């Protein structure tokens, strides 16, 4: 096969996998960058980088997870360049994760069905503020789950962190969001 | 399965990360325990509200068209193949110009400042704050850059500050004042004076005795000057004279 034909097939195959997840990648990129204009640069760079490395991509791996990984690295690098440094907290192993969950579900655990009965009342602005309270990695894990629909294992591969840490970050991210939302809900009621 | 066991697995259940058998056991428990059922329902409502909001957003067709067009094979190769004689001729002319032009040395600070200023012009970056330096920023810069740097701004008529931010220019922290003059974006980058050690060519020029040193920085004009404990660098798409005036109007605030 001629070199040109081979290249064309590669591009077609790559675009065939990319197109269905373009919207998710863009939404993820815009939410994870500190300045939404940066998202466009990060997306362009990530796609070109992924295409150059596409020969090394194996079909048995998730293309979605692979693309999210490349885009995340690109955004973290860009955020670092802008003086915002990604802070990976201490990795949470499975045992710690169990301890966190058990503590959270102890009697003092603050949320009850009654206090959280109507989430539709929560304003989008409150959600944006709550999201800003998360650190870069918590935000990334939460967005990979919510926007990309990635499984825990895929998120662990994307961020190169243990599975237990994914659960820990996700749990903490949701906890922080929940607390921030509860506070704003109480403010509205009070 | 009891309440504690079910609640421990609530996140995994709602994220569909459990095996079918465990999920089934949880569902059986929820049928008999109204308290857990209410908690699961509430948590599910929270997940849905957050996920629904976070995943909102449209695909921008122009962005993806531009990205995809860069992947189309042959675009560059075919172009180069057909125009290689022209490309070779251009290369010869370019080398000749390089050979005969006077040997000048550009300041390394110019390239780094240009990159940062370009990001401001194209609205990739913007001010982070105005007025006093936020405590968090001051703490992060402790020992690297004093907060007085944020007040070293041009006093020349026509310059208007839009706000300030911290940038790392070639990994050196700088207080950056982003503003405009005559409608043209202007970046004022203020470093600790010892930052000159990181920019030896710039140091040589600045140490030559001139009160202000001017240079081209890509398509912009750059003026560099020592002001007290600081190294001030003004960059804009303005005339050399105007940029020089702006740099000279920066007062020592230390």
Predicted confidence band at A142 (pLDDT cuts at 50, 70, 90)?
very high
User: Within the 10-29 window of chain A, which residues sit less than 8 Å (CB to CB) from chain B?
Assistant: 10-11, 14-15, 18, 22-24, 26-27
How do residues A24-51 score in pLDDT, each as one tens digit?
999 999 888 877 677 888 899 999 999 9
Best interface-test mutation with A: which of B69, B71, B136, B166 has the largest number of A CBs within 10 A? Answer: B71
- Please check the confidence at residue A93 and state whether its pLDDT lies above 50: no
Whether the predicted pLDDT of A141 surpasses 90 = yes
State the pLDDT confidence band at A1, using cuts at 50, 70 and 90.
Answer: low
**Chain A CB within 8 Å of residue B209 CB:** no
Higher pLDDT, A181 or B21: B21
pLDDT digits (tens, 9 = 90+) for A69-79: 999 988 888 87
- Asked if B71's CB is within 8 angstroms of A146's CB, the reply is no
* pLDDT for residue B77 is more than 50: no
pLDDT, mean of residues B135-159: 88
Q: Decide if A48 and B67 are in contact by the 8 Å CB cutoff.
A: yes
* Alpha carbon of A117: minimum distance to chain B alpha carbons (Å): 6
pLDDT score at A96:
52
**Least CA distance to A23: which residue of chain B?**
B59
Q: How many residues does chain A have?
A: 190
Is B65 a residue whose pLDDT tops 60?
yes
Picking from B42, B60, B74, the nearest residue to A26 by CB comes out as: B60
Stretch(es) of chain A classified as CATH 1.10.10.10:
94-189
For residue B34, list chain A residues with Cβ-Cβ distance below 8 A: none
Task: Read off the pLDDT of each residue in B198-224 and give the average, rounded to a whole number.
Answer: 81
Q: Residue B235 has what pLDDT? A: 93
pLDDT value, residue A145:
93
Using the Cβ of A123 and the Cβ atoms of chain B, whether some distance falls under 8 Å is answered with: no
Distance CA B166, CA B169 (A): 10
More confident residue, B63 or A97: B63
What is the mean pLDDT of the segment spanning A150-174? 89
A57 in contact with B, Cβ within 8 Å: no
What CATH architecture applies to the domain A3-81?
Orthogonal Bundle (1.10)
Q: What is the 3-state secondary structure (H, E, C) of chain B?
A: CCHHHHHHCHHHHHCCCCCHHHHHHHHHHHHHCHHHHHHHHHHHHHHHHHHHHHCCCCCCHHHHHHHHHHHCCCHHHHHHHHHHHHHHHHHHHHHHHHHHCCCCCCCHHHHHHHHHHHHHHCCCCCCCECCCCCHHHHHHHCCCCCHHHHHCCECCCCEEEEEEEEEEECCEEEEEEEEEECCEEEEEEEEEHHHHHHCHHHHHHHCCCCCCEEEEECCEEEEEEEECCEEEEEEECCCHHHHHHHHHCECCCC
- Regarding predicted confidence, which is higher, B154 or A55? B154
If you write DSSP's letter for every residue of A7-53 in order, what string do you get? HHHHHHHHHHHHGGGHHHHHHHHHHHSSSHHHHHHHHHHHHHHHHHT
B50 with A11: Cβ contact below 8 A: no
Confidence of residue A7 (pLDDT cuts 50, 70, 90): confident
A67 in B contact zone (CB under 8 Å): no
Q: How far apart are CA B38 and CA A71, in angstroms?
A: 38
Nearest CA of chain B to the CA of A1: how many Å? Answer: 15
Strand B172-181, strand B230-236: pairing = unpaired
If you classify domain B108-248 with CATH, what class do you get?
Answer: alpha beta
Q: Do A116 and B48 touch (CB under 8 A)?
A: no
The percent of residues above 70 in pLDDT, for chain B, comes to: 87
Q: What is the mean pLDDT of chain B?
A: 82
Give ranges for CATH 1.10.1740.10 in chain A.
3-81
Identify the CA nearest to B169 among candidates B136, B145, B151.
B145
* Tens digit of each residue's pLDDT (9 = 90 or more) over B95-118: 776 665 544 455 778 888 888 888
**What is the pLDDT, as a whole number, of residue A102?**
54
Interface touch A35/B56, C-beta < 8 Å: no
Residue A11 and residue B41: Cβ atoms within 8 Å? no
The average pLDDT across B154-182 equals: 88
pLDDT of residue A111: 47
CA angle A101, A102, A106 (to 5 degrees): 120
Owner of token pair 């404990």 = B229
Task: Give the CATH fold of the A94-189 domain.
Answer: Arc Repressor Mutant, subunit A (1.10.10)
The C-alpha atoms of residue A72 and residue A139 are separated, in whole angstroms, by: 11
B49 touches chain A (CB under 8 A): yes
Do A116 and B42 make contact, defined as CB atoms within 8 angstroms? yes
Do residue B56 and residue A14 have CB atoms under 8 angstroms apart? no
CA of A105 to nearest chain B CA: how many angstroms apart?
7
* A44 has a chain B CB within 8 A of its CB: yes
Enumerate the residues of chain B whose CB falls inside 8 A of the CB of residue A117.
42, 45
A67 pLDDT higher than 70: yes
| Cross-chain Cβ contact B73/A44 below 8 Å | no
CB contact under 8 A, B70 and A44: yes
Question: Where are the domain boundaries for CATH 3.30.200.100 in chain B?
Answer: 108-248
Average pLDDT on A101-116 reads 47
């Amino acid at each position: 096969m001629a070199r040109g034909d081979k290249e064309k097939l590669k591009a077609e195959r790559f675009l065939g996998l990319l197109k269905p997840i373009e919207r998710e990648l863009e939404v993820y990129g815009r939410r994870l960058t500190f300045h939404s204009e940066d998202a466009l640069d990060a997306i362009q760079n990530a796609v070109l980088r992924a295409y150059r490395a596409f020969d090394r991509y194996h079909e048995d791996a998730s293309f979605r997870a692979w693309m999210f990984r490349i885009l995340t690295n690109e955004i973290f690098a860009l955020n670092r360049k802008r003086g915002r440094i990604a802070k990976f907290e201490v990795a949470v192993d499975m045992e710690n994760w169990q301890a966190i969950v058990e503590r959270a579900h102890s009697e003092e655990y603050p949320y009850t069905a009654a206090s959280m009965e109507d989430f539709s009342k929560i304003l989008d602005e409150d959600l944006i503020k709550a999201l800003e309270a998360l650190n870069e990695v918590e935000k990334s894990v939460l967005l990979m789950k919510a926007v990309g629909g990635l499984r825990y294992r895929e998120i662990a591969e994307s961020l190169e962190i243990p599975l237990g840490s994914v659960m820990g970050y996700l749990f903490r991210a949701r906890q922080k969001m929940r607390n921030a939302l509860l506070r704003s809900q109480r403010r509205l009621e009070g | 399965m009891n309440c504690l066991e079910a609640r421990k697995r609530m996140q995994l259940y709602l994220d569909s990360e459990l095996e079918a058998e465990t999920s089934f056991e949880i569902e059986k428990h929820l049928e008999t325990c109204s308290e857990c059922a209410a908690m699961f329902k509430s948590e599910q409502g929270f997940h849905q509200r957050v996920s629904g909001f976070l995943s909102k957003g449209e695909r921008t067709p122009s962005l993806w068209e531009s990205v995809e067009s860069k992947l189309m094979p042959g675009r560059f190769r075919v172009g180069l193949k057909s125009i290689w004689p022209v490309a070779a001729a251009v290369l010869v002319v370019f080398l000749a110009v390089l050979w005969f032009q006077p040997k000048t040395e550009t300041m390394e600070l110019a390239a780094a400042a240009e990159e940062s200023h370009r990001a401001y012009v194209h609205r990739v970056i913007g001010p982070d704050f105005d007025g006093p330096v936020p405590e968090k920023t001051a703490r992060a810069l402790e020992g690297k850059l004093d907060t007085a740097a944020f007040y070293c701004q041009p006093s020349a008529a026509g310059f208007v500050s839009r706000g300030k931010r911290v940038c790392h220019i070639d990994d050196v922290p700088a207080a950056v004042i982003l503003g405009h003059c005559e409608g043209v974006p202007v970046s004022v980058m203020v470093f600790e004076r010892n930052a000159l050690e990181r920019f030896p060519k710039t140091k040589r020029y600045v140490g030559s005795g001139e009160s202000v040193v001017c240079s081209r920085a890509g398509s912009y004009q750059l003026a560099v000057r020592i002001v007290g404990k600081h190294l001030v660098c003004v960059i804009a798409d303005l005339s050399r004279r105007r940029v020089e005036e702006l740099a000279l109007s920066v007062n020592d605030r230390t």
